[in-house]
Every structure is written in C-alpha cells, then in structure tokens.
Structure 1
Amino acid sequence: MKNKQTYLFRASIALVLFMILGYTVKFYPENLAVFDESIQTTVRGSLPSLATSFFSTVTVLGNTLTFVFVLVFVVALLYFVKKWKTEGIFLGGTGVTAGLLIVSVKYLYGRQRPSIEHLVSAAGFSFPSGHSMGSMMIYGFMLIIAHQRIKSKGLRVLVETLIVLLIALIGLSRIYVGVHYPTDVLGGFILGFACLNLIFPFYDQKRFEARFQGKQK
C-alpha cells in the first residue's frame, strides 16, 4: 500500500482542477464554448443509427436505477456470499456518497444542459455529469476490489480493462446523446477520481486491520 499522503495529494490536485473548471463553468462559460462544441461535433457526427443505438444503451448503465441495482447486488454478493465485509461496506458507502454529492454539486453550479438535440430524456442541471461521476466512483471502486482480489493475472487484467472501458463509454455516451457538455463529463470524472483517492486509504487500512484480526483469531 502506498503512503496515505500520496492518495490525499492526488485527491487534492484533482479537487483543485475541479474547482478551476467549476469556477470557469459558473462565471466564464463562454471560454469553454469552443472546446465543448468542437468535441460535441466530433463525437456526435451525423448521428449514425448504429452509434445512436449503441450509446443510448450504454448510457443506461450510468442511470440512477442501474447504479442502485448494481450496488445492491454487488454489495450483497461481497458481504454475504464472499464474506468480504470491508469491501461491501465501503462500496455501499461510496455509492451513497456519490449520490449525495451529485445532487448537491449540481445545484451549486446550476449549469443548464446543452441546447442541442437530446436523444434521451434528462432532467436537472448539467455540471458535473452524474453518470460520469457515479461511474468513476462506483465502477472505479469495483475495479479496486477486482485488482486486490482476483488472483489470476489474465482474468484480473481483463476485468480491469472492461471496467475502464465501461467508465469511458458511459462518459462518452452522455456527450453523444446530447445531454452533457464535454466539460460536464470531464468534471464528473475529475471529482469522482478525487473522491476515490480520498476514500481509498481509509478503506485499505480497514481492510488490512480486518485481515490482521482474522489471522490473530
């Protein structure tokens, strides 16, 4: 395990970047227009039907109901079946934290959604992307568990790759379906990454203590 300060330093850097981006979104959104519009145009293209069907499906994996279902299932699996109680508790706590932060931070910035055509329905404010932040925190925490628990290197790399790809595609899907600016997605990823780095050292310490106590019995 790396030094706790390393993770807290990463979290601090990510939080500073998020605050800079958020400040720009709140007070100088026009400075982001060229960046956002150029990426939107590139990602969406002419909205080919195959891509529309694909991204409309992928984006569902970042919906609130999907997160709730995944969390309940995986937490129950970890806690009751695998008996990995620390992992189950912290994953559940990470999910709850993500939900609370998404709602509160969106209201803080109050950014309206893009005026381009929306391919799926979306309510509420735009910055940061809740799908992106939630996927970074929830699926990202699952990646951490997979990295620590899967013993087969080949399987571990496969699972980690799939999770990273899922997180990236969920973020990309929000741009494609038109309900988020690219900077919303970027902000969601940055804030989610910061939260993971804040949570991880406490989780890893608790996991170490649980394993040590188990050996002492």
Structure 2
Amino acid sequence: MFRTLRLDAVLIQAVIAGALSFAHLHDLAAAAGQDGWKAWAYPVSVDLLLVAAWRRMRTTADNRAAWVWFVIALTASLGANVATAGLLDMSDVPDWLRITVAGWPALAFLGGTLLAHAPAPPAVPADSPPNPDPAPAPVALPDPEPDPVPELPPAPAAEPAPLPAPAPAVAVPPALLDHARKLADNHHATTGTRIDADTLRARLGVPVPLANAITAQLA
C-alpha cells in the first residue's frame, strides 16, 4: 500500500527557512572571496554543525560543550542573514569578515570532531533495577559439640483412669414418649434437623436425665 503524502505546515516552514539561510550564507561566502564550490560548502558546514550540536544536546546529560558549538553555528547563520539584509556592502566586504569566513572551515572541523568523539554515558533503562551489592561469602563455622544429655530414670507407668459408673436407667412413661415424638417430628419438619436433648427438655419441662433417656429412645 502507498502512503499518502501529507503536507505539514511546520515542515514547509522549515524548508523555506533553511533554503533562505543557505542562500544567505552562500552569498556572504562568495562576497568574502570564496568562489565556486567553496561558496556552496560554507552553508552546508554551518548547518551540519548546528544540527550536530543540537543532536548532542538532546542525547547527552552534560551538554555544555554542545551548547557552545550550537551558539557558534547559530551566530554564523544569523550573522549571514543579517549581513545580507542590506546592512553590509557586499561589493566591499571588510577584512575582519574575510578573515572570519576564511577561518570558519578550521573552526567547524574542530567543533564537529569534538562533538563526534565526546564520550557519552552509557544509556541505562529506566526500569532496570540497580545492581545490588554482592553478598559476603558465608564463613564456615565449626559445629558446636552437643552438650551431654543426663539420663533420666524411666517414668512410672500411668495407671488407667477408672471408668465412670453407668448411669441408672430412667423409665420413660409411654404417654410422655408419644408426646416427645410428636415434638421431635414437628421440630424436624420445621428446622430440618433432629431435636437435641436440651431443646426437648425445654419443651417438656423434664429433668436432664429424663430428657436424655427420651432422646436416646427417639434416635
């Protein structure tokens, strides 16, 4: 699929501004005695130094040197634009400007070399954890000698606990048993669970042994 070409106002403005600055630098170099291909090389040198310094500022934390070369390249570009605006007689360029234009290649070469070969700190991902300090090597300690365990006399055998005496049987009247069975059926139908001895004792009002005996017979 072919990508559609979209015109960007910022891109158009950058192209126009770059072309005008390029032409002004060429005219100033030609007026300062640099003819032929040399006059065209001057704007290329200024713009490349400007871009290299800007890129260095964006990728390096300590960018003081990049700022210096950026200001130098920007001054050269702005100076050419102002000089060709009618403030300078292009047919009679002063000597200091000729010297500046003639010395620019060496200055641009020095700046480009320093920007290209300046050491950059290694990039560290933001989400990478810092390297932990290495843990010290464990020191092997001699095993302590176990303390002698005194021999204890054997414990006497525990006597079995006496069994509880069986509870005396409680006689349940048949009529009371029938009534209790009705209460148990009603309780089971209402709650879904069997009636316990405490609930049955509370319903019948009988002592605990009698309630236990009735519950045992209803089981």
Question: What is the TM-score when the length of structure 2 is the normalising length?
Answer: 0.25
| Larger relative contact order (CA 8 Å, sep ≥ 6) | 1
Which of 1 and 2 has greater Rg?
2
Q: Which has the higher helix share?
A: 1
What TM-score, normalized by structure 1, do the two folds share? 0.26
